[in-house]
């Protein structure tokens, strides 16, 4: 049983918006990281990751987000997480991600905070 | 039977097999009317315990025994691997600040299990590792 994972991306008000769908495991984390890197090379510094359609994550998948935060910190950029299930928000809190990344209820709210 | 449901399985080492256990857990929890919030946290615990067993067993091919015992009030998760074991006390607690600037961003499983469960027990020796997690569901 291999999990399906899909990722969509769009640029909205100078922000890269990534929407995950499915299990954020090693593969999912890597997909997010690869998509981010494509845009980061082109100067994107504001990123939103919506986890609305991800009900399960694991710490290996989330570890890739630390790498994204690290890269954004170097250019004074910022990452926001949105639409999180409470257990996922708790996981990210335990890992300390919100010391460096923001959180918002919706994508629009995150974009507003980033601009 | 209504008050105490059990599920036992032996998982082979194949990609994303932890989702089979998560699906079983979901079914049990829905049957007992457990809240979405508690189910979500139980999912994370199960996922971390199983991937920890698979990732750190130190064997090329292995199996993981998983057992859930659930009532409306409490979930007991038992995960056992037959790998080479490790010394839990020698595992350094991860810190995001220390992880930044280093290659290894992983190693969060034990911290998440300790923080999200209500009780956590790990026993490990050269014959494998047993993790017992207790999660209050009310």
Domain encompassing residue A108: 5-114
Does the pLDDT value for residue B1 go beyond 50? no
Contact B20, A1 (CB under 8 A): yes
The predicted model gives A24-53 an average pLDDT of 97
How many structural domains compose chain B? Answer: 1
The predicted model gives B85-109 an average pLDDT of 91
Neighbours of A112 (CB within 10 A): 11
Q: What part of A 10-69 touches B (C-beta under 8 Å)?
A: 23, 25, 55-60, 62-64, 66-67, 69
Residue B41 contacts A, CB cutoff 8 Å: yes
The DSSP call for residue B89 is G
Closest CA to B64 of B134, B130, B123: B130
- The burial class, CB within 10 Å (0-12 / 13-18 / 19+), for B39 is buried
pLDDT bracket for residue B101 (50, 70, 90): confident
Q: What is the CATH number of the domain that holds A72?
A: 3.30.750.24
Residues of A whose CB is below 8 A from B100: 66, 69-70, 73
Give the residue, B56 or A58, on which the prediction is more confident: A58
The predicted model gives B122-132 an average pLDDT of 94
What distance in Å separates residue B13's CA from the closest CA in chain A? Answer: 11
Q: pTM to 2 decimals?
A: 0.94
Does the pLDDT value for residue A61 go beyond 50? yes
B31-88 pLDDT tens trace: 999 999 999 999 999 999 999 998 877 776 689 999 999 999 999 999 999 998 989 8
How many structural domains compose chain A? Answer: 1
Residue B12 contacts A, CB cutoff 8 Å: no
Residue B85 contacts A, CB cutoff 8 Å: no
Q: What is the CATH number of the domain that holds B114?
A: 3.30.565.10
């Amino acid at each position: 049983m291999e999990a399906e994972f899909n990722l969509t991306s769009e640029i909205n008000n100078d922000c890269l918006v990534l929407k995950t769908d499915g299990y954020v495991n090693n593969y999912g984390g890597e997909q997010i990281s690869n998509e981010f890197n494509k845009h980061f090379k082109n100067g994107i510094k504001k990123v939103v990751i919506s986890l609305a359609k991800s009900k399960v994550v694991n710490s290996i998948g989330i570890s890739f987000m630390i790498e994204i935060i690290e890269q954004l910190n170097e250019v004074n950029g910022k990452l926001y997480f949105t639409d999180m299930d409470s257990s996922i928000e708790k996981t990210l809190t335990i890992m300390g991600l919100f010391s460096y990344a923001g959180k918002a209820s919706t994508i629009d709210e995150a974009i507003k905070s980033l601009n | 039977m209504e008050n105490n449901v059990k599920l036992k399985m032996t998982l082979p080492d194949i990609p994303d097999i932890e989702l089979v256990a998560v699906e079983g857990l979901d079914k049990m929890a829905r049957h007992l009317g457990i809240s979405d919030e508690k189910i979500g946290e139980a999912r994370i615990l199960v996922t971390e315990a199983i991937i920890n067993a698979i990732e750190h067993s130190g064997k090329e091919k292995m199996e993981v025994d998983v057992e859930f015992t659930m009532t409306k009030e409490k979930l007991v998760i038992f995960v056992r691997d037959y790998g080479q074991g490790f010394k839990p006390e020698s595992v350094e607690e991860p810190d995001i600040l220390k992880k930044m600037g280093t290659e290894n961003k992983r190693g969060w499983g034990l911290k998440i299990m300790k923080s999200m469960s209500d009780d956590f027990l790990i026993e490990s020796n050269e014959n494998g590792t047993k993790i017992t997690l207790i999660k209050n569901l009310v």
